[in-house]
Amino acid sequence: MASNNIHIHLDGSPYWTAERFAAHSGMTVGAVKKRIERGELPVDSFNLEDSATARATKYINMIKLAEMAASSSFDHPRLKS
């Protein structure tokens, strides 16, 4: 019987900075940030500091990214023919 389970090793956290994603993907940080701006990478924004004046940082949600990749209905906008 076939299994539909997907196992993903996240190496610590499901939220990655643009810098960490770039290091693991081989992309430049600038390219990752452009993909975030264009909505091609799923992000969540939150503040990890206790300061009320600190700005929220965008983190790539690796769980959402894996779900997008596993979805048969996902069509990457730049890969359409």
Whether residue 21 is contained in a domain is answered as yes
pLDDT of residue 50: 67
Q: What pLDDT, in 10s, does the model give residues 11-67?
A: 788 999 999 999 999 999 999 999 999 999 999 988 766 666 667 789 999 999 988
**Distance, CA of 8 to CA of 10 (rounded, Å):** 6
Q: What is the DSSP letter of 77?
A: T
22: in domain? yes
Q: What is the pTM of this model?
A: 0.71
Counting the structural domains of the chain, the total is: 1
Instruction: Output the pLDDT for position 69.
Output: 82
Residue 52 within any structural domain of the chain? yes
Is there a domain that residue 48 lies in? Answer: yes
The answer to the question of residue 31 being in a domain is yes
Residue 5 falls inside a structural domain: no
- Where residue 45 falls (left for φ over 0; alpha for ψ -120 to 50; beta otherwise) is beta
